[in-house]
A and B are shown apart, each in its own frame.
Chain A
Amino acid sequence: MFVLVEMVDTVRIPPWNFQSKLNEAISEELNKKLANKVVYNVGLCICLYDITKLEDSYIFPGDGASHTKVHFRYVVFHPFLDEILVGKIKYCSQEGVHVTMDFFDDILIPPESLQQPAKFDEAEQVWLWEYETDEGAHDLYMDQGEEIRFRVADELFVDTSPTGPATAAKETPAQPGQSTAPPAEERGEKKEPPYTLIGTICEPGLGLLSWWNS
């Protein structure tokens, strides 16, 4: 679920923080920059693990702050492909079952990856598994708040950096239902999360924990 990622960055420490120990000031800056943020193609950054190397600090003309190149390791949430994870059902929609792990919310289990046969109950807005037994079909509902075990099938990183005005002017107006990434965002339409996990529960043992506990 978590990995250690080695990174290098230049940390700027403003003069009013010069009274703190360098390591502490740097840790604070790094956590301020990275904690709870998604790094493209890396994962969700949790917290600083350690500082492995500090290069010399420099002060540049016109800026009173010190700049230090830091080699460090950061704890990152980045489950590997096929990893088994346990989360809670946030809500269901036509797109599938949305799962949350408290600190990470953008997990989706699409309809084709649910235990089959699956049906979407429009009235209650919930997906259910039409489980066949000798006595007939049992409807197993995937209710909000239920704990769910799933396998990581895929991950999607989206570059959500701001785009320049030139891109926005060039594009043609988007038709409803058509999605184009950055311009759609600027129009205030559905924002894409920077990091999404696609899960599957189409295997014995996967799905609601209550389905498999004796």
Chain B
Amino acid sequence: MYFPCFRKNANAAMLSNYEVFKLLTDLKEKRKDSGRNKHSVGQQNLNTITYETLKHLSNTPCSRQSPEIVKEFLTTMMPHKLTNRAEKLQLLNHRPQTAVEIQLMVEESEERLSEEQIEELIQTVSDILPGDPEQQNVAPAEAEMDEGGEQS
């Protein structure tokens, strides 16, 4: 618990999970190279939080993202009427694959988006953001499968 520094701006900007994942991964690499004192008592807290946060984030979609993917995602999201920055951020961080998940993250989605638009949104998210390779082999329960289309 620390009570320090004067806080200028409590919420200067929201960061996506990917940005934090990248920051911590780069930090870890840098500290590995310098070697000098990363085990000193003072650095233990940084080591702990870095390790635990990376551990948590590696099991989420952000671990498979890149700056290009994030940029493409934001560009493609523009026509989808998601005015709220927080909504786009949650879609980016969670990569929802069902309408129920979309409804959790998009406020009043039933009023703002038609069923078709929700499906479109799921499709966009699925296409642009890489999913978990372990789960890719499971056939998604979507209408397209009925047409006999094969997933490679």
Residues of A near any B CB (own CB < 8 A):
1-9, 28, 31-42, 44-47, 49, 71, 73, 75, 77-78, 80, 83-84, 86, 101-103, 149, 151, 159-161, 194, 203-206, 212, 214
Contact = CB atoms under 8 A, between A and B. Distances in A.
Contacts of A84: 90, 94, 104-105
Interface stretch (B46-54, B68-76, B121-129): B46-54
15 contacts: A3-B13, A5-B9, A7-B6, A8-B8, A31-B46, A32-B43, A36-B49, A39-B4, A46-B20, A47-B50, A78-B11, A84-B105, A149-B104, A151-B104, A206-B104
Interface in B25-64: 27, 42-43, 45-46, 48-50, 52-53, 55-56, 60
Given A39-B2, A46-B20, A86 B53 contact: no
A102 B5 CA distance: 27
Contacts of B17: 1-2
SS class, residues of chain A in contact with chain B: mixed
Given A102-B55, A103-B52, A75 B23 contact: yes
Contacts, number: 139
Contacts of A71: 8
Interface residues on B, range: 35 or more
A42 B10 contact: yes
B94 to A, nearest CB: 7
B14 interface: yes
Given A7-B6, A35-B45, A37-B1, A49 B56 contact: no
A77 B52 CA distance: 13
A191 B48 CA distance: 21
